[in-house]
Structure 1
Amino acid sequence: MPTRQHLWLPPLIVISVAFLAFSLPRYLGFDPARSLIPPHPGYPLHYPLLVGHILFGSVALVTGCLQVWPWLRNRYRVAHRWIGRLYLFGGVFPAGVLVLGVAPVSSTGFFSSVGNTMLAVLWLFTSFAGYRAARRRRYADHRAWMVRSFALTFSIVVNRAWLVLWIVVLDPFTGTLFGGDEAAMSRAAAGASVWLSWIVNLLVAEWWLLRRRGTPARAGRTG
């Protein structure tokens, strides 16, 4: 009988593949004109850093989905370890470092810049904490940190859903709240989606971890 993990895994993979199929081809040709995020004028490194972040981030998303696949993780532990190294060193770490050069100049304003920067810092921190726990053979702690790491990895996918939701919510108020300025409304929607995409994901991850472990005190004794 399928477990709950087996039930949510196929939608997770389908959504991730659909997201990459829509977003990634725009950057494979290295054409700034096709970028969903406009290159920052006067900042020549913006587009190369953005493309690098997206390519490495795509590796993190794909390998992260494989890492949370219970069958692969439990049946092929050696593969799990090697895919985990690829997730970290070929995905999260380079993507997280590169985005630190992009986030501060977000085209959607200061609110988005701060949110994306905090996301990058937490992404790097949780991933490094998971790697360090594995090196110390604290596998329960390792799993917990990597659940948080993948929650942050997946935030880029749910960000698009939050963005659409906030545009739908705010659009009727464009004339009153934003003085008819649609660009200002879009920036507000983008800022809200940035923050909610990773905050809600982390809250869900923490709820899932506490539900599995019972209490925070018990979680602290599993390392």
Structure 2
Amino acid sequence: MIEQSKSIRIGLGFVALIAILTSLYPGVFAFIPSSRGLFETKPDELLRSSWYIPIFMTHIGFGAIAILAGSTQFFDKIRIKKPSLHRNLGKIYVACVIPSGIMGLIVAFYATGKWYSKLGFILSALGWLTSTIVAFVQIRNRNIQLHRIWMMRSFAFCFAFVTFRIYLSLGEVLGLRFYNYYSYLSFLSWVPNLVFIERRIKKIKKAST
């Protein structure tokens, strides 16, 4: 077993903190009805439909719970010392990823911006669903190492909920025109996450040999 260094524990704690803060996002719609957020960029016809907003809210609602549950899965104190809690939180994570990912895949086809905006969000949803299902299958087969690796990939996609909002806010602070940068966020929100995780996975594999 590779013991987590202090810097890694601090990093995980920071990730968990901003994940918790981001998970509060759905509350904006629940408690501030006048807040339209990204709905401002959607056609009125789409917003008046009977299905779009419920699907979107299902996506971000379950996504928020997935962020909370997933952010705990890499702490050794939980994963090793409290395996029952780790398993239960993992089950919650998977149970939330499936509906959130499927709903996210649907709304991705109606993403604001260029065609590649839709493509980026579609790939993100597919990657999240696929990596989570593979991680679940691996733990069912008792392949713990592969399960951990695929869970890391899964959370890289899940963390796009966080990085998307960071980049979105950064664009506003820099005064960039919304339609000039929004489409790129569909890739920017998850590709760097995945690159970082793949490098981390490579280090873990190297240390295990």
TM value normalised by structure 1: 0.82
For residue 16 of structure 2, what is the aligned residue in structure 1?
Answer: 13
Structure 1: gaps spanning 5 or more residues: 172-184
Residue 158 (structure 2) aligned to one of 137, 153, 159: 153
Pairwise CA distance, 1:9: 2.0
**Aligned AA (1:115):** G
- Where 2:190 maps in the other structure, the secondary structure is helix
For residue 204 of structure 1, what is the aligned residue in structure 2?
Answer: 196
**Aligned AA (2:61):** L
Instruction: Within 5 Å, give how 1:8-157 maps onto structure 2.
Output: 8-21=11-24, 23-29=25-31, 31=33, 33-38=34-39, 40-43=43-46, 44=49, 45-89=51-95, 91-157=96-162
Pairwise CA distance, 1:61: 0.2
TM value normalised by structure 2: 0.87
**Aligned AA (1:86):** I
Pairwise CA distance, 1:148: 0.3
Cα offsets for 1:25-67 (capped at 9, x unmatched): 1232594x42322154333211110000011001100000111
2 CA distance for matches of 1:214 and 1:170?
43
Pairwise CA distance, 1:169: 6.5
2 CA distance for matches of 1:40 and 1:82?
40
Cα offsets for 1:176-207 (capped at 9, x unmatched): xxxxxxxxx42231111220111100000000
Instruction: Describe the shift of the 1:78–1:40 C-alpha distance in structure 2 as closer, same or farther (beyond 3 A).
Output: farther
Pairwise CA distance, 1:18: 2.2
Determine if contact 2:20/2:67 at 8 Å carries over to the other structure: no
RMSD: 2.3
Q: Higher relative contact order at CA 8 Å, sep ≥6: structure 1 or structure 2?
A: 2
Pairwise CA distance, 1:160: 2.1
- Where 1:108 maps in the other structure, the secondary structure is coil
Instruction: Describe the shift of the 1:30–1:85 C-alpha distance in structure 2 as closer, same or farther (beyond 3 A).
Output: farther
Q: Which moved more, 1:162-171 or 1:143-152?
A: 162-171
Determine if contact 1:96/1:124 at 8 Å carries over to the other structure: yes
Determine if contact 2:69/2:90 at 8 Å carries over to the other structure: yes
Q: Which moved more, 1:125-134 or 1:65-74?
A: 65-74
Instruction: Describe the shift of the 1:69–1:26 C-alpha distance in structure 2 as closer, same or farther (beyond 3 A).
Output: same
**Aligned AA (1:83):** L
User: Percent identity between the aligned chains?
Assistant: 24
Instruction: Describe the shift of the 1:85–1:11 C-alpha distance in structure 2 as closer, same or farther (beyond 3 A).
Output: same
